[in-house]
Structure 1
């Protein structure tokens, strides 16, 4: 029978699963599979598994409880295996890799940061600081511009946006870099120009959070900084 896999930990992890339940309706009972000094936390896979709110929350609660008692490799929602034997075989085959990742993640949590820049504010700044952009914009607005000028302005603004966003993203990451032990970038979505996850050790978490707050205040209302955490270190498994 297919099984749903939540996390992987060392076999001596306390595994306090009492009071927790897994995904599905009714909620599936949690159990463990041991092999090669490792332990996988699993349950039966429900039919028609989807990212329903109750199931996502159940998945998250399992991770949080396990992380409170020790280091785990938290798997993302929806990870399944053919059966318990398949899980056991994977633990045996990849034991050295999993043990190394567990050592790396010991005493750490993940923080995810996303940033966006209010479009009108960014355009105002470009027109204020770029003589060429201001010249083209003035000509277009007073009716003396040409179609080529409109095209040139659009290309110039797009180039300026990219340069400024890249510079700001670099500055933000560099400011937080002293307090992290790893970084994982992902493609920004929507209006965001930066999407990055940080692996933060416990002894630097306070300074990391303080620096995040300071950055938010420095950037002001024109830039939206969204910092989420602490989270299970999904991005670093």
Structure 2
């Protein structure tokens, strides 16, 4: 039977999995497979897994339980292997890499920071700081129909938005990265200009959260941040 894989841990991890049920319509028991110094947390699965709410919650519940004792290497939702022996073989073949990765995330959790600019605050700031942008805007509002004016204003504003977003992104990284063991910059999506994952030591979470709170007080910049965590270290799995 195929097996669904939740995470890889060190063999010494207590894996207190009692009472948990796994993904799939049959809600199978969650169990472990050992190979050398490593352990995989798995459950049996009889069909293709789709991201249903109940299954996503079951996946996360297993990882939350593991995180309570020691940081695992989490696998993304939906990872399956043909059978137990395949899982053990992968653990054996990749043992050195998994052990190094586990050492790297030990005692840490992932936090994700996304940020976007408040468009109104951003535009007002550009018009206040750029005499050329302000002048173009006034000409347009006064009724000048020259089609070159909105084109030039749009290009000027777009360039300034890019510059300010780049500076704000660098400021966020500069403020938060020193409080993390590692960080990963993901491509932003939607209106966000930052999508940053940080590997934060659990004994340093207070300082990290204080630093983030300090950033959110800077409301005049128009930067709005969203913090998610603590999470399993998905972004730091090789």
Q: TM-score, normalised by structure 2?
A: 0.95
Task: Map 1:29-178 to 2 at 5 A.
Answer: 29-178=29-178
CA shift for structure 1 position 223: 2.7
Determine if contact 1:136/1:145 at 8 Å carries over to the other structure.
no
Q: Which of 136-145 and 206-215 deviates more?
A: 136-145
Task: Give, in whole Å, the separation in 2 of the partners of 1:97 and 1:137.
Answer: 57
Determine if contact 2:113/2:228 at 8 Å carries over to the other structure.
yes
Q: Deviations over 1:78-132 (max 9, x none)?
A: 1111221211111010000000001111110110000111212211111111111
CA shift for structure 1 position 221: 8.8
Q: Which of 190-199 and 139-148 deviates more?
A: 139-148
Task: Give, in whole Å, the separation in 1 of the partners of 2:71 and 2:173.
Answer: 26
Task: Give, in whole Å, the separation in 2 of the partners of 1:52 and 1:214.
Answer: 37
CA shift for structure 1 position 71: 2.8
Task: Give, in whole Å, the separation in 1 of the partners of 2:206 and 2:174.
Answer: 17
**Structure 1 residue matching 2:40: 3-state secondary structure:** strand
Q: Unmatched 5+ residue regions in structure 1?
A: none
Number of residues paired by the alignment? 237
Q: Which of 95-104 and 78-87 deviates more?
A: 78-87
Task: Give, in whole Å, the separation in 2 of the partners of 1:81 and 1:97.
Answer: 19
Task: Give, in whole Å, the separation in 2 of the partners of 1:101 and 1:219.
Answer: 38
CA shift for structure 1 position 220: 5.3
**Structure 2 residue matching 1:41: 3-state secondary structure:** strand
Q: Deviations over 1:7-48 (max 9, x none)?
A: 101112111110111111231211211112211011122524
Structure 1 stretches of 4+ with a deviation exceeding 4 A read none
Residue in structure 2 matched with residue 225 of structure 1 by the alignment: 225
Determine if contact 2:122/2:221 at 8 Å carries over to the other structure.
no
Task: Give, in whole Å, the separation in 2 of the partners of 1:71 and 1:176.
Answer: 21
Task: Map 1:174-189 to 2 at 5 A.
Answer: 174-189=174-189
Task: Give, in whole Å, the separation in 2 of the partners of 1:178 and 1:194.
Answer: 17
Task: Map 1:194-213 to 2 at 5 A.
Answer: 194-213=194-213
Task: Give, in whole Å, the separation in 2 of the partners of 1:205 and 1:164.
Answer: 28
Residue in structure 1 matched with residue 190 of structure 2 by the alignment: 190
Q: Deviations over 1:126-177 (max 9, x none)?
A: 1111111111111112122511121111111100000001101110111112
